[in-house]
Copies of this chain bind each other. A is one copy, B any other.
Amino acid sequence: MAKLNENYQNLKESYLFSEIAHRVAKYTQENPDKKVIRLGIGDVTLPLESEVVDSMHKAVDEMGNASSFRGYGPEQGYDFLRNAIKDYYTRNGVSVELDEIFVSDGAKSDTGNITDLFSVDNVVLIPDPVYPVYVDTNTMNGRKIVYLDANAENGFLPLPDESVHADIIYICSPNNPTGAVYNKEQLKIWVDYALKNDAIILFDSAYEAFISDESLPRSIFAIEGAKQCAIEFCSLSKTAGFTGTRCGYTVVPKDLKVTASNGEVMYVNKMWNRRQTTKFNGVPYIVQRGAEAAFSKEGMEQAQKMIGYYKENAKIIADTLDKKNMKYFGGVNSPYIWFECPNNMDSWTFFDYLLTNAQVVGTPGAGFGTNGTNYFRLTSFGNKENTIEAMERFAKLF
């Protein structure tokens, strides 16, 4: 008899965004005259930049022409794009090699699929609150998960607890949902902990492009020793508005190795290469040309303008909270603003309160873990006029 993976029985229903949609739909149906503004969404809204659009048009034409048509490409990504990514790292002061870069259809896929490389009997350390995919993908594999408290006391930037042993460690910085960003000294403590425990850090850097404070690390590989203990996941989703275009990349250092039970040294880079060449056929050529354009000088200037637009929204939200003396996290080097719900409301009560009284939609922190129960996430991915209006309404409430 075929036996299914019964770990799936331990998954919680992922109802956060459907529950939000349900409550908003009910409210708008009952109040058709009210203008609801959505600041809950973690998705970009600005269109693709012209450099990317032009480049993809060119690539579409190439694919329609016998002399320039491309069939199967290298599963790891075309060298033109891997080189562009390598150069992007170099500009950010980090050196990575071409064959350490793997182009993919997004950081979500890679942070999920990377779990293929690990045995079941690893202890996985995951901060709470956090992006739910880390918990779900490890639950699917039946791994033991230990949680690390991220809270207001540690600025939602927890450091290792030396009394807790972990084999695999998830770090997301700038963080989704809290917007908090680790500095170099803090990340160094994590790298040292991983090296001491022979643990591997899975570093989710999907929001690195929102870091404008040059003292903050945009890559874990800016930290000495990280190439012996870390894998980094990046994405063009938020950097260049690729959420519907799908392109990310993962850096697996060639120095990262583990001795197997039979004494053989196994290299994670070689394993990921084998995984990707066996289970993946690469990113569409057209998309890779778009991504290459996003990394060009002009492309990066246009991307920076988009990020600047979103960061202005973040500032509008942050300024409002400042004026009301409400403490928040994120909002400066991140598209997310995270704050404690006022008046001791839990996050779903506050969701309803804000929707009903200000017609503003945010995301209840409870969706990201226990430590989010009394917190709320607003995002800067809306349009500017709406963000201003939403925060004016917000200000009047408190």
Q: Which residues of A contact B (CB under 8 A)?
A: 1-6, 8-9, 11, 14, 43-50, 52-53, 56-57, 60-61, 63-66, 68-73, 105-106, 108-109, 112-113, 116-119, 121-122, 133, 136-137, 140, 167-168, 197-200, 241, 243-246, 258, 260-262, 264, 266, 268, 271, 274-275, 277-287
CB pair A9–B286 under 8 Å, yes or no, is no
Known interface pairs A258-B2, A286-B245. Does A112 touch B279 (Cβ–Cβ under 8 Å)? yes
Known interface pairs A8-B274, A262-B9. Does A2 touch B244 (Cβ–Cβ under 8 Å)? no
A48 and B71 CA atoms in complex are apart in Å by 10
Please indicate which of the listed interface residues A4, A50, A286 has the most CB atoms of chain B within 10 Å of its own CB. A4
CB pair A117–B278 under 8 Å, yes or no, is no
CB pair A167–B118 under 8 Å, yes or no, is no
CB pair B1–A279 under 8 Å, yes or no, is no
A-B contact pairs, 21 of them (CB 8 A): A2-B118, A2-B198, A5-B271, A6-B260, A6-B261, A8-B117, A9-B260, A9-B262, A14-B278, A45-B66, A47-B64, A53-B60, A53-B61, A53-B64, A63-B244, A71-B244, A72-B244, A112-B279, A112-B280, A136-B278, A243-B281
On chain B, the residues within 8 Å of A45 by CB distance are 66, 69, 71
Known interface pairs A4-B260, A5-B118, A119-B6. Does A70 touch B244 (Cβ–Cβ under 8 Å)? yes
Known interface pairs A56-B286, A281-B106. Does A258 touch B198 (Cβ–Cβ under 8 Å)? no
Known interface pairs A61-B53, A168-B2, A246-B282. Does A11 touch B69 (Cβ–Cβ under 8 Å)? no
On chain B, the residues within 8 Å of A69 by CB distance are 45-48, 241, 244
- Distance in angstroms from A244 CB to nearest chain B CB is 4
Known interface pairs A64-B53, A109-B281. Does A5 touch B72 (Cβ–Cβ under 8 Å)? no
- Distance in angstroms from A28 CB to nearest chain B CB is 20
On chain B, the residues within 8 Å of A14 by CB distance are 274, 277-278
Known interface pairs A258-B2, A284-B246. Does A108 touch B9 (Cβ–Cβ under 8 Å)? no
CB pair A243–B286 under 8 Å, yes or no, is no
Known interface pairs A45-B71, A71-B244, A281-B108. Does A4 touch B60 (Cβ–Cβ under 8 Å)? no
CB pair B280–A8 under 8 Å, yes or no, is no
On chain B, the residues within 8 Å of A8 by CB distance are 117, 266, 271, 274
CB pair B244–A9 under 8 Å, yes or no, is no
On chain B, the residues within 8 Å of A57 by CB distance are 57, 60
On chain B, the residues within 8 Å of A119 by CB distance are 3-6
Please indicate which of the listed interface residues A3, A116, A262 has the most CB atoms of chain B within 10 Å of its own CB. A3
